[in-house]
Structure 1
Amino acid sequence: MATAVFQVDIQLFKRKALQWAQQFEEVCFFQSNGYADEYSQIDSLLAVQATACFTAFEGQVFQDLEKFRAKHPHCWMPGFLSYDLKNEIEELTTSSPNRLGFPEAYFFIPAVIISFRRDQVEIQGLQPETIYNSIFSTEFPTEPSLSSLNIEVRKRMSKEAYIEAFNQMIQHIQQGDIYEVNLCQEFYAEKVSLSPLAVYERLNKVSPTPFSCFFKISDKYILSASPERFLAKREQTLISQPIKGTAPRGKTTLEDKHIIDALKNNPKEIAENVMIVDLVRNDLTRSAVEGSVKADRRLEVHTFEQVHQLISTVTCKKNPTISDITAIRQTFPAGSMTGAPKISAMKLCDCYENSRRGVYAGTVGYFDPLGNFDFNVVIRSLLYNSTNRYLSFHTGGAITIDADAEKEYAECLLKASAILKTLDAKLLE
């Protein structure tokens, strides 16, 4: 694979590159939207056209993925894991249908890698200059506006059904079965034809986030505005950054300040975050050098376009006898999307949620050629099957003993607002 660097108008070239990429069956694009911390590795990265791929609908998925990674140890390898792989890890089941038709896991080895940095683009492929010229000459199609599509979004779970499920969860908390659970609901639209790339670009404009992703395999698309890191590895350090605690943005700087102060001092939101930090620490212990698990940064407020969030950072030194994929498996799925205790919470979610999570609450990310990896939590994300024209997204929130049903339901709608705004869609009652 050859490499070449070109000086470009980065924003224009990035848009052209994404448009150019749509000719391929396999496309993965990550962008950080200017958010960065000491663990950030890429600004924007585009991977296209599989030279080899791993697809799994059932079986020993993590074990088979281990073998696939071993065949391609020094390559970029983007992909995703479905939340429902919990059924392989624990004795759990998912009864709701797979309406989107996504596999449980998918990874590919790209023929072309394009990295975007400030005013430079680095292209890796067989003929970087040919690729550059092809992208440079790409023209943008005229897309119908989203407002003209008249998309009608429905709730899989009515407000009454949500509150009934909420009350059942509270009973389980009172009985001591769990002490926190993430109850999620699906929003969906049928017979929808749209341009996934146009939707993604608009979603990223409405809600720019550090773990934004556009992922395409054939007719299936993940359009993600995720703010949350599930698990990353930098050299021998594992990093998880669970989000728990949400508040809406204010209309003014002063109102924002008051909301942030209230969030930082909200006992319920703090309790949610502390519980999940304990769960993540426990998960990481299984893959860590003894005594190395730390949660030095807790309850930090991060501000995004739509919401303020409480984020904590948990790290450890990875046990060298544990493989990267085993470390992911032993932490999967993200504790912020389950509750605690983890297995009990997932069982109850299977009982009271009336839709399959699928890729939602799973993870999208990459392994890199140097042995690092980075995976998000698939939240604030649209999933779309262009063949059966089914569009879906989920939202959810943590329920603790002090939770209020009306407020939790309102938080689900708040989290849905960016996607509804992106689609210019009408939410049907």
Structure 2
Amino acid sequence: MIISGVILIITGAVVATGGGAVLTHFRAENDVTFTDIHNAELIKRGEYIARASDCVACHTPPGEAPYSGGLAMQSPVGTIYSTNITPDKHHGIGDYSYADFRNAVKLGIRKDGTPLYPAMPFPSYQIIPDKDIEAMYAYFMTSVPASDKVIPPPAIPWPLNMRWPMAWWQFFFSRERAFVPPQNASDQLSRGAYLVEGPEHCGACHTPRNIFFQEKAMSMSGDNSYLSGAVMEGWYAKSLRGDDTGLGKWSQAETEDFLKTGRTANSAAYGMMAPIIEHSTRFLSDEDIRSMAVYLKSLPPVAGIPVKKQKADKTTTLLDNGSYLSDRGAVIYKEYCSVCHRSNGKGVERIFPALNGNTSVITRDPSSVIQITLTGGKMPENDKDPMTFAMPGFSRLSDEDVASVTTFIRQGWGNDAQAVSPEDVAKMREIILSKDADIKTDAQGDRP
């Protein structure tokens, strides 16, 4: 009986593995051709689309050659390293035909037929039309300097590192599809919806995922949770919907300003959003920025999230008159935070973001507030503001002190958010430490 059971398991694994290979073979489209990669206008358009698709932010570690890969990304099963997508023939994509390139970008299938992990946002890229994929191919093959950088393999333990289950994942959760404009939408709103759903793949971070790590919805025509906020690598990507902790209190102009510069009068991009601004959205045309803002501002609040009004509060008076000594969080804020963010919590316009009423501060999930307190952050560069500013990290504070000060910030000045516990801080420290794991460089990387 035991031997029969083992044989049955092995047979099932072989069938599943073979089935996965068959799936990728039939999903891949190898008969598409494209040869005009030296057309100057096409190359220029390809560069713009690559920017709009935010390729550089994930495929370029700080200080390294553009698109050379190697940026570590945390996933529920382990660490994945972004691929080298320069035209190097041995370590990049220099030997990719147009069909190979299209299969990787839109279908998540490498040249050798191996399925890619969904850290590559191919489920979003599926709605990019082939003419734009052709333009990207021309740009990458002719205008990106080749790099021979070798990428380490994913740091994922066996048996989770086997690739054949990804073929089945793609079959069930990532079928090729076309863009469907919102009903009765103007051309401008449709353009914004396309950019948000497709190239910019906003849902990859801002939409929660199911147990199998697929996005719960790819557009507003799906689940109500689309763009409702989600945790990614210890950062809470806030809701982009019309609720109070999303974009409900932002004006159209503020939304455009943030997408173009990473700043508004009261807020600033940080964490995983900062490189997106710096390497992608700041390069979009004013028309495309406006279209994205129009679409985002059209989204309704998330059903079931109550609207809250900011309460009147005496936090500023408490900090100014010295009557805060009995509140440990207030003491820490006064010592470490008030010089920049001020006792009124309003910071300095476009320099130090406000904490008073900041929607990123009062989100239901405190992950981002905790992480930026521990690690600090840096504003993205842009073409409007002459200087960038950085916040130091305060990891030297105890878990209790970080919990106290973040709770004070989330509940001061009329903010109305849940308290942070020392256990929340301890969990975040573990996440941060996992990001700093050693990177192996002596093995063949995960090529696209």
In the superposition, the TM-score normalised over structure 2's length comes to: 0.24
More strand by share: 1
Bigger relative CO (Cα 8 Å, ≥ 6 apart): 1
In the superposition, the TM-score normalised over structure 1's length comes to: 0.24
More helix by share: 2
Q: Which of 1 and 2 has greater Rg? A: 2
